[in-house]
Amino acid sequence: MSEDAIVILKDDHKQIRKLFREFRAAGEDARATKGHLVERIIELLTVHTYLENDVMYPQVRHLLPELDDDILESYEEHHVADVLCMELWSMQSQDEHFEAKTTVLIENVEHHMAEEEDEWFPKVRSGLTRTQLRELGRAMIAKRAEAPTQPTTPSALKKALDALVG
């Protein structure tokens, strides 16, 4: 497993995209399957955004202040995803809004991941040294063990609130 922070985040993105594809391919009447997939999507997103908000964004913001606007936008995109995840967490897969809300979550997260990979990650990679990226990666690996997996966990709620108040 790589210790490079960007590689770690891209690996998370791959796992999340795979679940998005499975959700879309599950079929119209696969409510139970979609419910399980959404639980897993929420778990991965909760961990991923925790690592970005708690480790990656603050450190990059400190080391590369010229990326401040990008990071602030990312915090806001995470906030939207957090709200959707919390709402989906409290819903049943039979709810008439479940699929539509999941689709909105998927579209928002896909946009966010594409922006990170196409625009933000290249700026971070060119602005930080390999050593700095490995240090960030090691910090994320260490934090992953304590990361919340449910959006209603106090540390996940704190992450969402911290993103709101900056």
Q: Give tens-digit pLDDT for 48-104.
A: 999 999 999 999 999 999 999 999 999 999 889 999 999 999 999 999 999 999 999
Q: Where are the domains of the chain?
A: 5-165
Spatial CA neighbour of 109 closest among 2, 4, 12:
12
3-state secondary structure (DSSP) of residue 74: helix
Using pLDDT thresholds of 50, 70 and 90, give the confidence band for residue 134. Answer: very high
Q: Give tens-digit pLDDT for 29-52.
A: 899 999 999 999 999 999 999 999
The total of other beta-carbon atoms located within 10 Å of residue 65's CB is 9
Spatial CA neighbour of 68 closest among 138, 82, 35, 76:
76
Least confident of 109-113, 115-119, 134-138, 152-156: 152-156
Cα-trace Rg, the chain: 16
